[in-house]
Amino acid sequence: MSLLEVDSLSIQFGGLVALDGVSFEVEAGAIMGLIGPNGAGKTTVFNCMTGVYVPTAGSITFEEHDLLQMQPHQIIGTGVARTFQNLELFGSMSVLENLLVGQHSSMRANLLDCLLRLPRAVNEQRQARDRAGEVLEFLNLSEHRDVPVAGLPFGLKKRVELARALVSSPRLILLDEPANGLSHEEVNDLIELIRSLRDEFLVTVLLVEHHMGLVMAVSDKVSVLDFGRKIAEGTPNEVQQNPAVIEAYLGAPRAQPE
């Protein structure tokens, strides 16, 4: 059984069919790319998985969890963490504090613990800081630990978001356009980084991306969406040769006169 199974997922916004029976599977330990032209429904898949949208039909199963039966805030507890296309960081907080919020769901201190600083709150806070420190170290963010996030440059903000998702020790991480707005060198670093997510952190990666170089370099498998339908799936090579994919990106060749 696959780690993640998305089965005939459909969602409509008014008259617009954003997803139309999309199915795919992600194997544990894989890096999977989800690509498609603008408006194909890639981010919508993420939003259905994490409870932001409620799909009209279909099912999403992560391990034994039926994600569609869960409240949005419960998703991260099952081991699925995500980043956002348009950053959703906590701007007034420091980098470290952002990573502490990232561990909110695994912390247990109740109101009394927090008000009185009882041992439970103090201990788990110390552990959370240590954990955040490790992730910051790994992502080369240690020097920015105590800086308010709102003042950081865009590339660093993206890395902080990745750190915030990673700090919850997810088994599946959803990256929404991680290469968006990055320079050429930064993309090369990102390729290494995504590989090490899997190899060192043992995280399965599902990636929505427009940067073809990145997707083709890191993905084991690529799924292609167009107008809410899955039109192709396979290895990066297979997908690049697929006529339906070429048509979706470049348009159909004009019909030859008989």
Interface residues with another protein (CB under 8 A) are 50, 52, 71-77, 81-82, 84, 87-93, 97, 100-102, 104-105, 107, 109, 111, 113-117, 121, 125, 148, 150-151, 164, 168
Q: Is the CB of 146 or the CB of 258 nearer to another protein?
A: 146
Q: Which strand (E) or helix (H) includes residue 62?
A: strand 57-62
CB of 205 to another protein, least distance (A): 17
CB of 119 to another protein, least distance (A): 13
Q: Is the CB of 144 or the CB of 230 nearer to another protein?
A: 144
Neighbours of 9 (CB within 10 A): 25
For every residue of 212-252, DSSP letters joined together read HHHHHHH-SEEEEEETTEEEEEE-HHHHHH-HHHHHHHH-P
For residue 85, give the amino acid letter.
Answer: Q
Q: Is the CB of 147 or the CB of 191 nearer to another protein?
A: 147
CB of 216 to another protein, least distance (A): 28
* Strand ordering across the sheet containing 80-82: 80-82, 172-176, 204-208, 31-35, 221-226, 229-234
| Longest Cα separation, the chain | 83
Q: Is the CB of 74 or the CB of 196 nearer to another protein?
A: 74
Q: Is the CB of 24 or the CB of 46 nearer to another protein?
A: 46
CB of 245 to another protein, least distance (A): 30
Q: Is residue 31 within 8 Å of 194, Cβ to Cβ?
A: yes
CB of 257 to another protein, least distance (A): 52
